[in-house]
A = this chain, B = another copy of it.
Amino acid sequence: MKTIKEIAQEANVSEGTVDRVLHNRGGVSKKTEEKVRAIIKEYNFSVNPVASALALKNKFNIAVLIPAHNKSDLFWKSPNLGITKAAEDIKTFGTQVQTLTYNQQKPESYINTFHELLKSNPSAFIIAPSFSEETRNIVAILDDKKIPYLFLNIEIEGFNNLSFVGQDSFTAGYIAAKLMLSKTTESSEFLIIQSRKNITNNNAVFKRIEGFTNYFVKNEIPCKILTLEIESQDSKTLRKTKINTYLNNHPDIKGVFVPSSRIHMLVDCMADTYLKTLELIGFDNTPQNIECLKNNSVSFLISQKPFNQGYNAVKLMNDYLVKNNIPSHKIYLPIDILIKENVIYNENSY
């Protein structure tokens, strides 16, 4: 590996001059610049980021704003672990990472946490965006301050985000439908259950549902698709009644699709006879959902590599800050199909 010193010797200039050319810092004559550039190109030289980091001394800090996890929805624990791991890895570049979580039910917690992070003057933001109105305000501030930001997990359009890291939700839903049909041969009815008012994840959940129904349309499968909405504030007893009554009234339902990470809550509510006969498909390898795979109540989970989402987002942003690597505008991670047998190799992220 060449060094700046060697490049400088080769070009008969000082190291400082090479550095000026490398970082377009100006104050170099055209002739010298060309000479240096030629040699840089000849050796395909690039700076040693470790030395650079040391000389620059702790220049960057990345702020991360994501939802908190709780007992009934552990989903965000895993991206958070990925973020922590990445933070560890990029210490060697002198980059600091600060993560704060907000309450997914409370817009003001989202805003307040954002401002809390802003206090330390971050070089960049990683945001799992909730609440469209509030996101618009947040992003306006970042655009104004020229702080780069990328969106994690929840894909929204129309912003100047550097990138998006997450899943292709439409295709994920489409795959769920295909898997559903692989287990239920005749034409039948299917039920989509939304377990809460989707003020937050709505875009991902919406796209999953779209993909799910599209499978039937595209393949001209004459199935009826029903939808049931459950309020997350509903007591468990109330939820039980709602769900089982609904299933009782629709005996042709062969499978249930839950386009969120909360299929375990549904399993908790469903009468045993339904658990045994219906195909259930849900999202995300949270511990409770994995338990449902293991006890055979759920056939498939679609998983979205939550750990990697966090890890990749942080690494990507660091590469952007440190090496000025521009990432793709969308980074879609694999859509994992989990069954009882392969899930054990996918649970270490929690």
Contacts and interface: CB of A to CB of B under 8 A. Distances in A.
Interface of A: 1, 48-51, 53-54, 58, 91-94, 168, 171, 174-175, 178, 182-183, 185, 332-337, 339, 341-342, 345-346
A137 B185 CA distance: 55
A342 B171 contact: yes
Given A1-B91, A49-B91, A50-B54, A334 B345 contact: yes
Contacts of A54: 48, 50-51, 54
Nearest to A176: B341
Contacts of A51: 54
B336 A336 contact: yes
Contacts of A341: 171, 174-175, 178, 335
Nearest to A333: B345
Contacts of A185: 185
A255 to B, nearest CB: 14
Nearest to A48: B92
A276 B345 CA distance: 33
Given A50-B50, A92-B50, A182-B182, A175 B339 contact: yes
Given A92-B50, A171-B342, A337 B334 contact: no
A53 B51 CA distance: 9
Nearest to A341: B175
A175 B342 contact: yes
A315 B339 CA distance: 29
B339 A336 contact: no
A93 B335 contact: no
A50 B58 CA distance: 10
A92 B337 contact: no
Nearest to A340: B178
A345 B168 contact: yes
A178 B183 CA distance: 12
Contacts of A346: 334
Contacts of A334: 336, 342, 345-346
A276 to B, nearest CB: 17
Nearest to A347: B334
A345 B335 contact: yes
